[in-house]
Amino acid sequence: MSETARKPRLPVIDVARGVAILAMAIYHLCWDLWYFGLVGWDVGFDWRWVFFARSILFAFLFLVGVGLVLGHGEGMRWKGFWRRWLFVFGGALAITLGTWLTFPESFVYFGVLHAIALFMLLVLPFLFAPMWVSALVAAVFIVPPWFFSHPLFNEKLFSWLGFWVEPPVTNDLVPVFPWFGVVLLGLIATRLGKNLVLPRLAAIPVTGRLGTAMAWLGRWSLPFYLVHQPVLLAVVVPLSMLLGTQDTLREADFLRSCQVTCESGGTSAPLCTTYCQCGMEGLTEDGLWDPVYAGVLNTDEQAKLDENNRQCSALIYPELLGSPAATQ
């Protein structure tokens, strides 16, 4: 397709995008407050919070499909496409680097921006393909994760595809299955409604301070996404240090990582909870938090850690108390 002139924006779509990105920022604020021990809400695991987060992600990715059709559905504007793609891809790399430096145990290696960068490339053939092809491919991506999973996809190397039994430890993961299918749904809806629905949406005026603010936020959603978490963390982290919740953060991070690792070895969830709680108490009693997190233990510290692990293993498997390994 040849380069085409830039089409006028639909203010109501900008408003929708602005609402979605603001909702995402609100969720991230609540998650940060929970993660750093400032609130007792179970933001990471409570089904209501999970549903809230998935609803926001659905809206955001659906609008990615909408935006690609609005921008390129009548002919590719390659310069604009590649400029935006490089911005998204660069943002994804920045997020990976930033989270690797700040949260090395749970850094983001395939989050929402990584997914969008890939989806922007995957979706290109479907901008002009027959509608039934797009619908069929959308179903291929959306339906299988409801019926298939395998431990292989628990590993980070394959987890970006989806299909895991237990998700790997990371602060954000947006797998290709089913979420590329959601982008295709946005594309399909926009192509179907371009002659009837889009003219009506274009006629809706956006007025008032709130509407104008949301439209502006929607136009600048990508820069906002890149800066909102550093800004939130710049407030939340010092506050958690001031209030002394850093120990709560470290304990929660240890328990979460330990639980996933333990269950991946085939031990039941209740036994893993007991084991990890025991391990955490041992780290506190022996003063091992700092050397363990630094990854540098001297001989005495390593001996204490090994003994603690043996004691905790014997707690959930009493038969180990009489084994040669338990007395070594």
DSSP-assigned letters across all residues of 48-111:
HHHHHHHHHHHHHHHHHHHHHHHHHTTS--HHHHHHHHHHHHHHHHHHHHHHHHH-TTS--SB-
Rounded Cα distance, 144 and 88, in Å: 28
Tens place of pLDDT for every residue, the chain, 328 residues? 445 555 557 888 999 999 999 999 999 999 888 878 788 787 877 889 989 999 999 999 999 999 999 988 788 889 989 999 999 999 999 999 988 888 787 889 999 999 999 999 999 999 999 999 999 999 999 999 999 999 999 888 999 999 998 888 888 999 999 999 999 999 999 999 887 887 787 778 888 899 999 999 999 998 999 899 889 989 988 888 888 776 666 777 788 878 888 888 788 888 888 889 898 888 888 888 777 765 566 788 888 888 888 888 888 887 655 544 444 4
Check residue 325 and give its pLDDT. 40
- Does the predicted model carry a pTM greater than 0.95? no
**266-285 pLDDT tens trace:** 888 888 888 898 988 888 88
